[in-house]
Amino acid sequence: MNRNKGIKQLVESPLNPEDASYDLVLPAGEGWLHEIKRGEVLRILDLEGNQAVDTLFYNADNPEERYSAADTIREQGSVYLTTGSRLLSTEGRPLLTITADTCGRHDTLGGACSAESNTTRYALDKQYMHNCRDTFLRVLANADRGLEKRDLTSNINFFMNVPVTPEGRLTFEDGVSGAGKYVEMRAEMDVLCLISNCPQLNNPCNAYNPTPVRLLIWDASAGAES
Ligand SMILES: [Zn+2]
């Protein structure tokens, strides 16, 4: 276990943003649902630093098969995600593989913020603040892909720093990411990617200042040339 031992495995990508076939800036508090074809490469770029990007993946042809945090953690023997991590499905198959990472590690334990977690963690009057769960639901409601509340399962928080303490507790800590850092992953099958660019204002996962991220996709051929 703990093959990664929390060591930052910083790997840069050879891909050039000028060659990307898709390029979007997603403001904080906004959601995004997009199909990524097998072989395509998705980069999530932290434009201003310390941003949390809540993310779920589904098999595009059969969304009943979706990202499994438990299988991913067990198979890689580490609780953090970084270069080399295979993001496994509920069927144990790789949905995507992280191929580059200049941040060093990403959380898949902390879950997505919600009205419920905001009230229990912070204060009752935080119930009406924007949160990732509501963003996920809003995007799914407008997407017409047959996905809904029951399809929201344990997610990935790219760039978020949720260290496990020696006592086995989780803490939300100041981010390890910075402006211009990115994580990049290659789709191993056609996948649906659902993102909530986290609007959280009550803990340091966004440095109390949610900021935009840039989403880039390269065609399979671009990834193969590198
Ligand atoms: Zn959030």
Banded pLDDT at 8 (limits 50, 70, 90): low
Q: Measure 223 CA to ligand 1 centroid, in angstroms.
A: 30
Amino acid letter for position 26 = L
Report the share of the chain in percent with pLDDT over 70. 94
Residue indicated by tokens 């809540």: 54
Tokens 């080399």, located at residue: 84
Alpha carbon of 38 to ligand 1 centroid (Å): 28
Q: Give me ligand 1 centre to Cα 28, in Å.
A: 10
Residues 95 and 188: beta-carbon distance below 8 Å? yes
Confidence at residue 202, expressed as pLDDT on a 0 to 100 scale: 75
Chain-centre distance of CA 64, in angstroms? Answer: 19
Compute the distance from residue 202 Cα to the ligand 1 centre, in Å. 10
Average pLDDT in the chain: 91
24 pLDDT higher than 70: yes
Q: pLDDT tens for residues 191-206? A: 999 999 998 877 777 7
Residue 170's pLDDT is 87
> What is the C-alpha to C-alpha distance for residues 49 and 207, in angstroms, rounded to an integer?
9
Spacing, Cα 147 to ligand 1 middle (Å): 19
**183 CA to centre of ligand 1 in angstroms:** 18
How much is the average pLDDT of 62-72? 98
Residue 113 CA to ligand 1 center (angstroms) comes to 4
For the ranges 13-17, 205-209, 218-222, the maximum mean pLDDT occurs at 13-17
Predicted confidence at residue 222, as pLDDT, reads 82
pLDDT tens profile 108-156: 999 999 888 888 887 787 777 789 999 999 999 999 899 999 999 999 9
User: Residue 32 pLDDT > 80, yes or no?
Assistant: yes
Q: Where are the beta strands (DSSP E) in the chain?
A: 22-26, 31-36, 41-46, 53-59, 86-88, 94-101, 156-158, 181-187, 191-197, 213-218
Give the per-residue pLDDT at 123. 79
What single-letter DSSP state applies at residue 165? P
Ligand 1 centroid–CA 226 distance in Å is: 34
